[in-house]
């Protein structure tokens, strides 16, 4: 039905994408368009694309979404860009993937489709259906299967460890909630990244008044398995992950005033979960403002330890999410 409606729509032959005016999209590829299964039923749209030299290139994918205030997503993605610039200045390349996102009206907007990426839920289902949420080796096997060349595999491991560290720190500092396995994604090159930022600054997702999120950020047994951290045995990848996390966290703390000021300035915009002093206070506490470096470092290491101890609760939450067929992205 949506494809038939698109055939009858008066669409331009080409246009500049609103989230990145450097990209020019061509005619719509109707046979590739669909309605997505998630709660708001967004449209998956694809358009032809030509490179500047006229050679063909991969189609441009855009998700058109109605029903969510994408200004909050824009704020978080732009903050990720700022965090990345801070880390880059400190010689930390954490392979973040801040995809394009723009609100084009009231509860209407567009989101860039990241190519060659799948959700963690898709990876887990490929291992054993809904029970794949409890398969600690699911993600490891998925990556290993796609990286037959040894050099590519080790490069992907480095990318996974750095990007996982970057998003663990960022999602903790920004208090991003509702972290189920349908809004965490991975590429075949090992890039780990989060999508859908409907719950921020400690405003976690609740079902019937019960908080289903018991951990400060997502670091599940299957992520640890990829790093070689099995049954708490020592692992060079896991040690590198922790070292990168501390470096990234301490770098952000040096710019606490910048981050707090930026969010304070946005309080009057009407963004749903940035409306009171309590929301700003979460940011200050997450950055351990006023604490010395040693205390702050120990604080974040304790968060990693909490994630290790309670990783099974996340797996159980993800299994419920898959079993119930909940898709909220």
Rounded (10°) angle between helices 120-128 and 311-324: 80
Least confident residue range of 101-110, 243-252, 269-278: 269-278
Question: What's the DSSP call for residue 113?
Answer: P
Say which CATH number the domain at 94 has. Answer: 3.30.1010.10
Six-digit token string for 19: 């989230």
Q: What is the pLDDT of residue 104?
A: 92
Position 329 in a domain: no
Residues 313 and 185 in one domain: yes
Query: Residue holding tokens 């500049």?
Result: 16
The model's pLDDT over 30-56, given as tens digits with 9 standing for 90+, comes to 999 999 888 889 999 999 987 766 666
Position 34 in a domain: yes
C-beta separation of 43 from 11 below 8 A: no
Residues 6+ apart with CB under 8 A from 114: 97, 99, 185, 187, 193
Residues 108 and 191 in one domain: no
pLDDT over 90, % of the chain: 62
Give me the domain span that covers residue 62.
Answer: 2-112
Q: What is the pLDDT of residue 328?
A: 44
- Band (pLDDT 50/70/90 cuts) for residue 205 is low
* CA count, 13 A, side-chain hemisphere, 136: 14
Residues 99 and 161 in one domain: no
Q: What is the pLDDT of residue 257?
A: 95
CA dihedral 270, 271, 275, 281 (to 10 degrees): -150
Q: Domain ends where: 55, 87, 112?
A: 112
Position 289 in a domain: yes
The model's pLDDT over 62-75, given as tens digits with 9 standing for 90+, comes to 999 999 889 999 99
The residues facing 66 across adjacent strands are 108
Residues 169 and 314 in one domain: yes
Residues 72 and 219 in one domain: no
Residues 108 and 122 in one domain: no
Q: How many domains does the chain have?
A: 2
Q: Domain ends where: 84, 112, 140?
A: 112
Residues 288 and 221 in one domain: yes
Torsion region of 61: left, alpha or beta (phi above 0 gives left; psi -120 to 50 gives alpha)? beta
Position 227 in a domain: yes
C-beta separation of 87 from 150 below 8 A: no
C-beta separation of 137 from 168 below 8 A: no
The pLDDT of residue 117 is above 90: yes
Six-digit token string for 77: 């993605």
The pLDDT of residue 208 is above 80: no
Distance CA 303, CA 107 (A): 34
Least confident residue range of 143-152, 191-200, 254-263, 274-283: 143-152
Q: What is the mean pLDDT of residues 177-200?
A: 91
Catalogue the E-assigned strands of the chain: 15-16, 24-25, 34-35, 43-47, 60-66, 101-105, 108-112, 117-119, 184-187, 192-194, 206-207, 210-211
């Amino acid at each position: 039905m949506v494809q038939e409606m698109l055939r009858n729509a008066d669409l331009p032959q080409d246009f500049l994408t609103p989230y990145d005016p450097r990209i020019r999209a061509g005619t719509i590829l109707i046979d590739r368009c669909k309605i997505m299964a998630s709660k708001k039923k967004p449209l998956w749209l694809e358009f032809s694309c030509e490179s500047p030299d006229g050679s063909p290139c991969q189609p441009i994918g855009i998700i058109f979404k109605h029903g969510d205030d994408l200004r909050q997503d824009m704020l978080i993605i732009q903050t990720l860009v700022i965090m990345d610039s801070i880390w880059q200045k400190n010689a930390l390349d954490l392979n973040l993937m801040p995809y394009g996102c723009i609100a084009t009206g009231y509860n209407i907007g567009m989101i860039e489709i990241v190519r060659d990426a799948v959700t963690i839920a898709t990876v887990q289902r490929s291992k054993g259906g809904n029970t794949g949420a409890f398969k600690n080796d699911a993600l490891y096997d998925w990556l290993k299967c796609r990286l037959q060349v040894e050099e590519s595999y080790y490069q992907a491991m480095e990318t996974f460890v750095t990007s996982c560290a970057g998003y663990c720190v960022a999602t903790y500092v920004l208090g991003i909630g509702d972290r189920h396995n349908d809004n965490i994604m991975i590429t075949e090159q090992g890039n780990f990244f989060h999508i859908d930022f409907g719950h921020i600054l400690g405003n976690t997702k609740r079902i019937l008044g019960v908080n289903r999120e018991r951990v400060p950020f997502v670091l599940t047994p299957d992520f640890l398995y990829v790093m070689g951290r099995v049954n708490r045995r020592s692992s060079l990848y896991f040690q590198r992950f922790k070292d990168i996390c501390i470096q990234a966290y301490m770098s952000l703390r040096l710019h606490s005033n910048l981050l707090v000021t930026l969010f304070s300035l946005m309080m009057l915009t009407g963004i749903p979960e940035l409306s009171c002093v309590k929301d700003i206070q979460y940011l200050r506490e997450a950055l351990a403002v006023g604490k010395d470096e040693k205390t702050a470092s120990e604080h974040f290491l304790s968060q990693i330890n909490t994630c290790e101890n309670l990783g099974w609760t996340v797996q159980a939450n993800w299994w419920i999410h898959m079993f119930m067929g909940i898709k909220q992205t």
